[in-house]
Amino acid sequence: MTRNLDGALSFPVSVKRLPQKGLTIKIEADERERIALRDFHELQDVTSFKADLQIVPWKKDGVRVRGTVKAAIVQSCIVTWEPVDAIIDAEVDTLFVPEHSKLARLPVDENGELIISADGPDIPETFSGDMLDAGAIAEEFFELAIDPYPRKEGVPDQPIEVTFGEDNETEKPVNPFASLKDWKQKP
């Protein structure tokens, strides 16, 4: 695996001539790659990262990638900044087709409007050439599984009220016309 500008992991796989049963790809990040994952995803630590992927042919030119991504990470609590341990266990199931494939086009109705269903299947992603980056795919599902708002156990979900000054003081809002009260127009 090598450093990638679009992420921390890269594991290129040729999909030009996939066996009918597909390829099994196992990725286990070493210390340097875990540090790159930590820095790229702004985590405190990535203690382990493993991906088990099955890459199989799909339809004529497409590719299906299925498997799991498992990792142990340490994040910062969004309230206290203390370390929060988390386990990532993400299921991978995605489709890829060549750039100019008809399968990559969005469906349209008789009026030419796009048909998008939140509950329907995702359209396949596209790739160019004959290579697919299994490391980047695993890292994408890793990133999607990271909790964007980690909280240390016991920290309340409610916002914390912060009061400045004395509680007994009540400030009145400044009247924008107060400075005009002494102004008189000369005849």
pLDDT digits (tens, 9 = 90+) for 98-146: 877 666 665 666 676 666 666 666 677 888 888 899 999 999 999 999 9
Using one digit for the tens of pLDDT, what is the confidence trace for 28-48?
Answer: 999 999 999 999 999 999 999
Phi, psi of 86, rounded to the nearest 5 degrees: -145, 150
Tell me the pLDDT band of 165, cut-offs 50, 70 and 90. low
The SS3 call for residue 111 is coil
Given a cut of 70, whether residue 82 has pLDDT beyond it is: yes
Given a cut of 50, whether residue 14 has pLDDT beyond it is: yes
Strand order of the β-sheet with 45-58 is 23-28, 45-58, 62-76, 83-98, 125-127
DSSP H or E run through 95: strand 83-98
Spatial separation of the C-alpha atoms in residues 153 and 10, rounded to whole Å: 34
Tell me the pLDDT band of 3, cut-offs 50, 70 and 90. very low
What does the block give as tokens for 146?
């990271």
Spatial separation of the C-alpha atoms in residues 23 and 176, rounded to whole Å: 73
Given a cut of 50, whether residue 4 has pLDDT beyond it is: no
